[in-house]
A and B are shown apart, each in its own frame.
Chain A
């Protein structure tokens, strides 16, 4: 369920680090808790993101949730497909429905995040 090569936050985001780039998304648990996702608000390329600060938001039918950046860095690309097909976040949160790709400011920041096993333990699974 939760890819081993991803790192996870307590706020239910994941990040996949490749070189000095990171791909960020929300976890399957997060999409389940949110329910039907109807709107995704993401930053443009070039936007600076700050560790622990909201980088965008995801809205379900019922509620708005902030997406917190797991790292400091700069947005390289956001997933444009989610603007027209936000429901993909419910279907494939760990894959095609990634949210943003960022250039990491400090690779060491990722070390503080949870592994897949730790995250599942955190969820109580």
Chain B
């Protein structure tokens, strides 16, 4: 049955996607391309050549002021005080109860200016949360998501592709570093970040310039075999790289310690929201842990499927590059060991799987 559909939000590239014949889906209230030529083809293009993603639905929040760092460090669990100018890191906005408001990227533009990239469907919640927490800090919080478009250029030929459109020297930019510059004459933040497990960039430009930049990137990458890639490939790529997806591996009820993200929790940086609870959880010992698995029996363990004896699959599907059906799952601590045989309940049948190390895919340096 068709339900009454709310008006979907559109990125400035919506018409470009539709004109190229993309299959569009409702993704958390956004009308987004799930695929253009096919998920497997787009996945392989990003692994072997270069792919272009419209991720303009992602949110961006700017925090400025004399106490910008203090506010960032209060609401997020990583230590933004360790960031250098032009450096970014992965972090979490944590609730008092230890769960995630969201997972985010924090970019340091200046000592009094931090730029957060947040998940599309969480951006309003994140903004409200940070504003609510900002009371005691001399810092302003601005939701700049509606004005910015984000395009991800990902794959081994990403540097060559993007370099054609910018005077900013890209090769020296380290992984998780960024530069402010221009792309094809328009101001852009050029960050060497991504969600695919490949080399590449995420560029932030103004909305009105996004369609032109997209077309110019497509033209620049033509000789390298560039293709647009949709959310379908974005998901298979990030799953092979074992990167968390909000609402799956992490939620408001799951904490960074059990999600295998204790490396973004800096207990020694001073106070932050959720710290007390996370310390308590750590002291009590974890009950469950996020693990990677591969199917050894026939079948695909998918999101939400139960694990026999306890636990559940958070994300699962085919791993096109690794050539296995893979997934991430929460398991009771005693089963969270590499090599552990497990069984995924696939449509009432217990199908064999095995806990394996993550990431499933790691690119050659």
Contacts and interface: CB of A to CB of B under 8 A. Distances in A.
Interface in B30-60: 34-35, 38-41
A62 B299 contact: no
B61 to A, nearest CB: 30
B302 A36 contact: no
B232 interface: yes
A36 B38 contact: yes
B347 interface: yes
B236 interface: yes
A39 B300 contact: yes
B228 to A, nearest CB: 15
B327 interface: no
Nearest to B233: A61
B98 interface: no
A35 B35 contact: yes
Contacts of A61: 39-40, 232, 236, 317-318, 320
A38 B347 CA distance: 17
Contacts of B41: 36
Interface string B317-340: 110100001000000000000000
A57 B236 contact: no
Contacts of A59: 300
Contacts of A57: 347
The winner among A35, A57, A59, A62 for most chain B CB atoms within 10 A is A62
A64 B235 CA distance: 16
A41 interface: yes
A35 B302 contact: no
A109 to B, nearest CB: 25
A61 B23 CA distance: 14
Interface string B211-242: 00000000000000000000010011000000
A41 B347 CA distance: 11
B39 A36 contact: yes
Nearest to B236: A61
B318 A35 contact: no
Contacts of B35: 35
Interface string A22-45: 000000000000011011010000
A38 B232 contact: no
Interface in A90-111: none
Contacts of A60: 39
Interface residues of A, number: 11
Nearest to A60: B39
B249 to A, nearest CB: 18
A59 B39 CA distance: 13
A41 B302 CA distance: 15
Nearest to A61: B39
B233 to A, nearest CB: 9
A38 B232 CA distance: 14
Nearest to A62: B232
Interface in B1-49: 23, 34-35, 38-41
Contacts of A35: 23, 35, 38-39, 232
Contacts of A38: 40, 300, 318
Interface in A55-88: 57, 59-62, 64
A39 B232 contact: no
Nearest to A57: B347
A86 B338 CA distance: 30
Nearest to A36: B40
A39 B301 CA distance: 12
Contacts of A36: 38-41
Nearest to A38: B318
A54 to B, nearest CB: 9
Contacts of B302: 64
A61 B232 CA distance: 8
B40 A62 contact: no
A38 B317 CA distance: 9
A41 B299 contact: yes
Interface of A: 35-36, 38-39, 41, 57, 59-62, 64
15 contacts: A35-B39, A35-B232, A36-B39, A36-B40, A38-B40, A38-B300, A38-B318, A39-B298, A39-B300, A39-B325, A61-B317, A61-B318, A62-B34, A62-B39, A62-B317
Given A41-B299, A57-B347, A64-B300, 12 more contacts: A36-B38, A36-B39, A36-B40, A36-B41, A39-B299, A39-B318, A39-B325, A61-B39, A61-B236, A61-B318, A61-B320, A62-B34
